[in-house]
A = this chain, B = another copy of it.
Amino acid sequence: MADDWRARKRVRTRRTIQEAALRLFLDHGYDQTTVAQIAEAAGVSHMTFFRYFPTKEDVVLDDDYDPMIEELIRARPATEPPVQRVQNAIAHGIALVYAADREAMLTRTRLLLSAPALRARMWENQAVTQQLLERALCGADDPARVPMATRVTAAACLAALTTAITTWAEEDGRAELPALIDEAFTALRTELR
């Protein structure tokens, strides 16, 4: 019936740790902040920290966009050409959260780009997202034998998306992310001959 209490407390503790960590990272920098400091600020021991986040990087990298992306792509008609399909899916997804989360996204992205350790892990995560994209595009047929064309398409789409996000954060959000994403994907479809 109810580990409801357990579950809720777990969620709360997790959020407490994450918020303490982000505040410290933003105030003093990622490398300058120690796990012990985060734990203390959150009122837990450093072991509890690692029970909730396997590594220091995960506090920042933890997001659940991947399932959302997969969902959005499958929702688009398979008749659209692949790149267009991915572009539409992402544009649609961004529209859902951008207005509400713009500032948080920008802050988080800037933080992500500020520390080499975080950037490295970010790319590593991208590789996972790419596999997801490949599966979504070729219809989840065989996990191993994805055709080269699909792999390249997925990689290129992700490259476009990342370029847009990076540009957005680098110029401190002066432009609007949806517009940049549109620009990047358009470039992908037109500029590549």
Interface of A is mostly: helix
Please give the distance in Å from A126's CB to the nearest CB on chain B.
7
Sorting the interface of chain A by its residue count into under 10, 10 to 19, 20 to 34 or 35 or more gives: 35 or more
Knowing A123-B120, A123-B123 touch, does A155 contact B148 (C-beta < 8 A)? Answer: no
| Choice from B83, B120, B160, B163 contacting A124 with Cβ under 8 Å | B120
- The answer to whether A155 and B151 touch across the interface, beta carbons within 8 angstroms, is no
> How far, in angstroms, from A138 to B163 measured CA to CA in the complex?
16
Number of copies: 2
| Choice from B116, B127, B180, B188 contacting A192 with Cβ under 8 Å | B188
Residues of B within 8 A of A126 (CB): 123
> How far, in angstroms, from A116 to B191 measured CA to CA in the complex?
34
A159 within 8 A of partner (CB): yes
| Choice from B148, B164, B184 contacting A167 with Cβ under 8 Å | B148
Knowing A123-B127, A193-B81 touch, does A155 contact B149 (C-beta < 8 A)? Answer: no
